[in-house]
Structure 1
Amino acid sequence: MTTILVTGGTGTLGRCVTERLRTDGHEVRVLSRHTQPYAVDLRVGGSGLDAALAGVETVVHCASSPRGGDEEAADHLIAAARRAGVGHLVYISIVGVDRVPLGYYRTKLAVERRIEESGLAWTVLRTTQFHDLVLSVLGGLAKSPVLPVPAGVPDQPVEVGEVADRLAELALDAPAGRVPDMGGPEVRSLDSLAHAYLHATGRRRAVARVPLFGGVYRAARAGGLLAPEHAVGKTTFEEYLGRRFGR
């Protein structure tokens, strides 16, 4: 039986990865800031991290925050994994971290580089945006009478459970370096996703396609968030919404 540590194991993705691995009979330790017995803030590190990694063969690193600290967290995790003799570090990243000049994406790319240069055996998977994130963004935008979306920006949302299945599979395989990206089944315009959201929730809003400016917008319009050649996801956004809202 493999002992696996999942960082961010109480988050949207980490929780699903943990469930998959435990269902397959593996011992899984969940590391997060507030969950015992492995309550550790990776940005700080410390003896609690060493205790969490003792006897662990594989780490699935899902912990991440757009508010900052990912690079420091990676440094602490890598150092502790070396001390513990961890044999495999699996990291979840995002399609476009090397193409879209967003601060959070630059951080994710920097973490990838740290892992590649860590001396540990590693696997990195990049995926497109999760359905859950698209839903959260659209829900926030729909609070106004008009739902604005960036004009001309395509997206390719993917089901988080399918990503969890892939991460669990990678965790149990041999280290593979950078593996092929994983994208959702459809490339969609943001306004079409917005209309699907409004239909599923029964909300009445006009959808406004708003042109924006800057490098992030240009890169997103140019397809920087997409992986059309790796459209391996199965669940469409409408199917996801149907499960969430029963429409």
Structure 2
Amino acid sequence: MTTILVTGGTGTLGRQVTARLRDAGQDVRVLSRRSPSYAVDLRDGRGLDAALDGVDAIVHCATSPRGGDDRAAGHLIGAARRAGVPHLVDISIVGVDRIPLGYYTVKHRVERMIEESGLGWTILRATQFHDLVLGILSAAARLPVLPVPAGVSVQPIDSGEVAERLAALALGAPAGRVPEMGGPEVRELADLARVHLGATGRKRRVVPVRLAGRAYAGYRRGDHLTPERAVGTGTFEEFLARRYHRPV
């Protein structure tokens, strides 16, 4: 049996990675600020040494759009070195090296920190999860009209499929940068907004809005997409049908 620690193990992705590893008969330690067993805030790192004692691999799913991922990674890498953990698996995002968005810049910095850590490492980049696209559209749908960035497409993927891949990677040897995972379809965000409205029974006019800035230009170019790696199978419609318990 392998002992694997999952950071962010109570989150959307981490919960699913944990479940798959346990189904495979592995000993899994769930680390997060809310974990009943390993309650650790990676931003200060207190408690990491005890959590990593005897661990064979780490799956690093913890992240915060509010910032601090690089500081958290620094604490994790330092503790992993002290514990002699042989394998660190990290989930990253397609386009972090191409789109000048603050969150992406930090995620790319974390990648470089892991690559230079001296640990055995594996990094998987994936496109946006269905859950994230749903969150964006749900928030926008609270307005009288539903605004979306004009000319932007997305390639959403089922987080469960990414969790399956991460679990398999954690059980293998360090593999470096592995092929990206993209969702099965590249779809205009405006199109997915209409699908979401139909699934929720709301009536809103979808309004494409042109934005400014280099990050928006990168999204319009599709720098966050990987159509050549459309390996996901679950569509956004299927995700919504499960979420709302109705056909979409």
TM over 0.5, shorter chain: yes
What residue number does 2:18 align with? 18
Q: Does 1:236 align with 2:235?
A: yes
Letter in 2 for 1:70: D
- The root-mean-square deviation of aligned C-alpha atoms, in Å, is 0.6
Shift of 1:213: 1.1
What residue number does 1:37 align with? 37
Instruction: Give 1:96-107 correspondences, 5 Å limit.
Output: 96-107=95-106
Query: Aligned equivalents of 1:35 and 1:236: distance in 2?
Result: 31
What residue number does 1:146 align with? 145
Gaps of at least 5 residues in structure 1 are: none
SS at match of 1:152: coil
What residue number does 1:178 align with? 177
Query: Aligned equivalents of 1:199 and 1:183: distance in 2?
Result: 25
Query: Aligned equivalents of 1:142 and 1:126: distance in 2?
Result: 29
What residue number does 1:126 align with? 125
Query: Aligned equivalents of 2:39 and 2:84: distance in 1?
Result: 21
Identical amino acids, percent of aligned pairs: 69
Query: Aligned equivalents of 1:211 and 1:80: distance in 2?
Result: 45
What residue number does 2:199 align with? 200
Residues 146-174 of structure 1: per-residue CA shift (max 9 Å, x gap): 10001100100000000000000111111
Residues 37-58 of structure 1: per-residue CA shift (max 9 Å, x gap): 2111111013x11000000000
Shift of 1:69: 1.1
Query: Aligned equivalents of 1:244 and 1:202: distance in 2?
Result: 14
Gaps of at least 5 residues in structure 2 are: none
What residue number does 1:188 align with? 187
What residue number does 1:68 align with? 67
Query: Aligned equivalents of 1:188 and 1:203: distance in 2?
Result: 20
Shift of 1:210: 0.9
Letter in 1 for 2:124: L
Query: Aligned equivalents of 2:160 and 2:197: distance in 1?
Result: 23
- Work out whether residues 10 and 34 of structure 2, in 8 Å CA contact, stay in contact via their aligned partners in 1: no
What residue number does 2:27 align with? 27
SS at match of 1:81: helix
Query: Aligned equivalents of 1:25 and 1:49: distance in 2?
Result: 24
Query: Aligned equivalents of 2:25 and 2:217: distance in 1?
Result: 46
Residues 160-214 of structure 1: per-residue CA shift (max 9 Å, x gap): 0000000001111111000010000000000000011001111101001111111
What residue number does 1:7 align with? 7
Letter in 2 for 1:50: D
What residue number does 2:55 align with? 56
Shift of 1:28: 0.1
Query: Aligned equivalents of 1:151 and 1:43: distance in 2?
Result: 36
Query: Aligned equivalents of 1:38 and 1:81: distance in 2?
Result: 15
Query: Aligned equivalents of 1:63 and 1:121: distance in 2?
Result: 19
Query: Aligned equivalents of 1:37 and 1:232: distance in 2?
Result: 35
Query: Aligned equivalents of 1:168 and 1:193: distance in 2?
Result: 29
When the two structures are superposed, what TM-score results if normalisation uses the length of structure 1? 0.99
Query: Aligned equivalents of 1:144 and 1:79: distance in 2?
Result: 45
Shift of 1:36: 2.4
Query: Aligned equivalents of 1:140 and 1:76: distance in 2?
Result: 33
Residues 18-46 of structure 1: per-residue CA shift (max 9 Å, x gap): 00000000000000012122111111013
How many residues in Structure 1 have an aligned counterpart in Structure 2? 246
Letter in 2 for 1:2: T
Letter in 2 for 1:112: E
